[in-house]
A and B are shown apart, each in its own frame.
Chain A
């Protein structure tokens, strides 16, 4: 296992938000983490990078490469962030700096973490943009985020995350802000990267369709707990937990999901309306 989360609890003030989450990320695998708003899936992703709100209480353990992340000194933790464990956020128009060229954002990162000189960083940055399929990388480095489309911006954010060849990638709703046609391209890219670079990916999303397409394993969260975890096919076709079954039943396109207006009406009646 590349990274192992066990019994993770997070509390803010007197309220506990995560009640003992267990998850394991393996190299080359995409671990999906599904759940509705407020279920704690984003908090789980942030906990891996120990990016929790100030004053949050954390318990349990997150082990990476034989080290315990939760008790690591801030200095050692910073050394891991962005180099071994990287993150991609939902909205690339806020995660990229609007006033800095793509080149500056990519090469700063490379020079800081990998101590590359200017021209080596530039070459590496071009390779990275090429890897995420940005056309004409040399020219793209001189351009600014607003000159790219939403899908391209998210690819650039992924390139920055990959800059130091991390082992673990936390992607929090990376395609939610994108159109479905653009999303399809980004999902293909994530799948390729996981397989070719042996990256362990934690893909956090509310969209079960996305997980059905790319995840190897799927965990479903509700109310700060993982209620079900299993292989993709098993979770989607034979859900073990009633919550997963109910979630799937509400979706058009799922095996036992809604197929017609009558199905949706039946669902509404079952909910007592």
Chain B
């Protein structure tokens, strides 16, 4: 498996007195055809990592290298053509799709982005079919679809640009529980089938572990545990990962209360890497 994305010592600071160090030394790699899950609670810096990976925020230190080339911060002009090989799916498909353009035209944007790099993509109708929507959806507008369908459209749009790296920033958290696992698996299968890497960011460990090959657990701007998804789920080593797993309520009907961590719980920042 070839390495596609390499993040070394990434630090991102937001202005303030003192500045807020949202990401404090993150190392991460994603390989072609590999699915990496990045999990953590609100404010841990996982979305900031996603934004830094595609140049939406400038790192204070460290490097982001995509397929051998550094990712520059986004300027006022459109991003370099080569970087359209990185595509994103955001949390809220109501905000990420254009409300007044037909779905087909928006998928066409992706197809053109691929064509501009000299890569062939399929017709919008074919992409709609892959995400389980009828071909006539191309003529319709985003408001005519449910939340789950809209997120499928956003995924189709990202994939139509034939990315080598797909980043999903909480792509399933706005969806109904019954469709979350299905949409996550859809993203995985489509990304891996096309040979792309997938970085799947979410706070929901129980879904991420189903689709990820590797997991990275973030806490206070750092990755405190990373390794094969199966191993971390079965046998978490870091105390923070353990408390995160223990707090997830399991829908088994047993009446077992999830364990809340102590109010002033502090966890070590030394990572467990395996």
Contacts and interface: CB of A to CB of B under 8 A. Distances in A.
| Interface residue SS majority, chain A | helix
A187 B258 CA distance: 8
Interface in B211-227: 211
Interface of A: 36-37, 133, 135, 150, 179-185, 187-188, 191, 206-214, 232-237, 246-248, 250-255, 257-258, 260-261, 264-265, 267-268, 271, 273
Contacts of A182: 260
23 contacts: A36-B178, A179-B41, A180-B247, A184-B247, A185-B263, A187-B258, A209-B249, A211-B251, A213-B257, A214-B257, A232-B255, A234-B253, A236-B251, A237-B252, A250-B177, A251-B177, A252-B209, A254-B250, A261-B185, A264-B182, A265-B189, A267-B182, A273-B132
Contact of B210 (A181, A206, A210, A258): A258
Contacts of B184: 264
Contact of B249 (A36, A135, A206, A213): A213
Interface of B: 41-42, 132, 147, 176-182, 184-186, 188-189, 203, 206-207, 209-211, 243-244, 247-261, 263
Nearest to A35: B176
A73 to B, nearest CB: 39
A261 B207 CA distance: 10
B185 A233 contact: no
Given A251-B181, A271-B182, A183 B253 contact: no
A250 B247 CA distance: 20
A236 B253 contact: yes
Nearest to A250: B178
A37 B176 contact: yes
B177 A253 contact: no
> Which of A37, A207, A246, A264 has most B Cβ within 10 Å?
A264
A235 B253 contact: yes
Contacts of B260: 181-182, 184-185, 188
Nearest to B264: A135
A252 B207 contact: yes
